[in-house]
Structure 1
């Protein structure tokens, strides 16, 4: 894989510490980095965020940048490349306020990785690699120079600009004995094979590709081995050795599928979701039927009572008066009962509809990620193979491949928007903390606080309900409140989750909130009611708004 530069030197980390507090924060930062390298991402993110908070209080730009880099690297390893890009850029802002050339070198290299190998924006990626190279050259670190030139070579060769990449290839070939490990040697031999294929030296190309595959099999790094098989298959198609080319292409597909299966989350039980939705529909139909029957019986009873009243009106006026009052009282009670039934129907319809939407979002997100995205990747691959096989590089095919790749990443981003991966992976509290941070900007700041440990997990469906309720409340603040500050507080008291969302915006008259378009407060209130919780709004014009929610917790079973 491409080479990610991360913090690994304790001496460099402590070079800027001035007192005991800074040393403690630096140690915490190092622990977070070590956890990330051990693939303990959740623990790493928790520690790095703690260290970041302390670094901000200390106003230590170096430690702030280091912790942003660790957070970004965690998301990078988790495949959350947009989040990784966001935090790498934050790290760059603070790193540029320091003289830490090592850190700037790491950050620009990692930005290059994101743009080249994830977003397929090679021009941007190579630009960042060259900035990284400038800093590694400035500090005279031969290993970092080697790694950066290694990445530049791969980036140029990946877009088939071999002449531009050749000077960097010559350099890494010259110094590979001092700086290479087995993983690096697999890709280095692959790059040499690609260049020899470019200059039509079939004998040397075959030698380098087969050496890369052999080293990859020994090293057991599936990712590097898959790249070697893929590039070797392209070369074999070029020299018309189709049988062997297909063997290597099949090996690439097999390894790629294994990698996907290792990272793939458990698929949704689509049949189970459909059955649950059907159950909601049957419940709603049952309530509607009960309502219609009750209403019809009431009308029939009222008609019968009117006939009795008419029959006795000429005999006893007093009886008529009492009868009239009696039946009016019955009618009032029935109307009140009908209103309660109607209200209950509306609440159940809203809840069933929203639950269905959330489950559909979950299903669609999984479908987009696991099926459509995979099909687009496969289409791009087959198009590449077709191009190699027919020895053609037409503009239309190049544009088609580019469109397929762009569509692949847009679909992946859409699936993450439909169902935040942080919610499923780390839980409600970590996802809400990230939601507040990502929505904060120069116009509005969301302050998040809780007395609950971020590692606490509840029932999956319960976490999804509460996440989207809070997300809707935050959207209302952004769209309608004109606030510049908002506070979100969560507490766990006696098996109930207490949520408070407060802003300093323009507020509104509570009696009119039912008529305000787009707020969705009635829907949220209905959902909380069906959960057996409480929903309260405190607001007035020009005095901000506070919304309080108390919902019984549904723990994991």
Structure 2
């Protein structure tokens, strides 16, 4: 979706010298006072006139329209005495149409001002004409004529700005071209022009009262574009350059745009919480200034961040709020509806998912219909003249046609009968064909259902076989533990008892202590085997305590295991608790055996009927492409247990970052 860099018209034609600036640092009072003082003290009418025009625009920017009209009236009285002032006044007086929303007359006055000022070759005239052409270019963008808008900027405005020698004007024009490329998703081309915009603004005069605002906006837009093309280090530098200006103006309405770019940067570097904080700051700023369109843009920017965090309930709330906002454009509402349908689907609300998917389709059809109407209107205008000429020719040929109609009536009737017969036969054929197709479709549906059931049964058999095989391996392991561990210790204990019985009546205390140690070790080993079979804490205290005990039991001096639990319910069925416990146990055993890590993080949480398991280590990792070549049963048993709970597993491993298992289970 194209970013709404071009807002409604009152926001578009802004930030121009001698015209309204919507985004401002709110630091104009000193400049305004200097203009008022100059008007009061100067005795030169021409200076008083041009200063009055500029002061009128400053007042209009601040929505002080009465003061603006008052200064404009004073300047208009002086202007007729001086040809340049009179011609410049055409431009200054055009702004009153913009404030009223009369775009048609505003465009006419801009064109007139540009034509009138062509006779002047001063730098000031070139700079003013460059701004006028820039505003005309923006109007072309509103009319969806971006090709003409681009031509006007490059072929007309930029040469004028270069003649004026005003680098700030030139930087603003390069920024405007960059924005057009951004709106058309041509980000690399936009980068070339924004790079030039940065170069020119650094060369510009810092004495201009609009310099800081122009520079801040260029770097804000540049940061957003650099994030889009993945050059995040450069994007951060542009953000820092903008912040160096804006940090001294915390109440400026330019902060909304800055926080949008900052939030997008944090999203690209996956610092999701910071991204949300930046977007919320931007929303607060734009809401303060009643900038509804920018606020909605910031709200929608939160959507991919929340989606990446799997916070679909928050995603749903944001999109519902945006759709209910009556100021949204139809094309935006269409996008909101599609994403909201996806959010409801993720939340399991199929009814609302279907509702908003249908709404998306209706909006798409409506937009296509409007486009079609525009094309039809253009075609009608194009061919109106041809149709009128055709009517004259029709009247002249009417008499000849009447004769031909009379002669050909018989032929037409015969042809009509033949066509009717053919159509009847065609309908019969299509009806029979439709019946056959329905039968074939029914058979295909049956075959599909049978194949699906067969695959399902086969998968269940495979899972059961794997589980049986795993149980057999577990039995072998338990037998081995009993034989090699407890069995050997009990045999040794038996031999010592026999030795004591056959010895003299005096029993060595060291021998008794040794037998007591063997007996304690046997009991400990037996408890360990029993715990591996089914942990007592799981049955008595629940899953969270059992997992905590497991992590505590397995950690060593060399390996630290950090366990976190969030909202784990106590009403999970016992069989599912055991399966979850075995999954965590298997992953920890694998990490302890193979990862060579020093730290292991275990995070378990529950969200309604979904259970999340995340286990990360800082070990050596392994090659995911060779995972299928592993011979052990561990990962196979793990996958089978996850499949039994209709879950899914994601594995991320590298030699630099270690290994992370992310598991989502349906309980």
Short-chain TM bin: 0.3 to 0.5
Q: Find the structure with the greater CA-based Rg.
A: 2
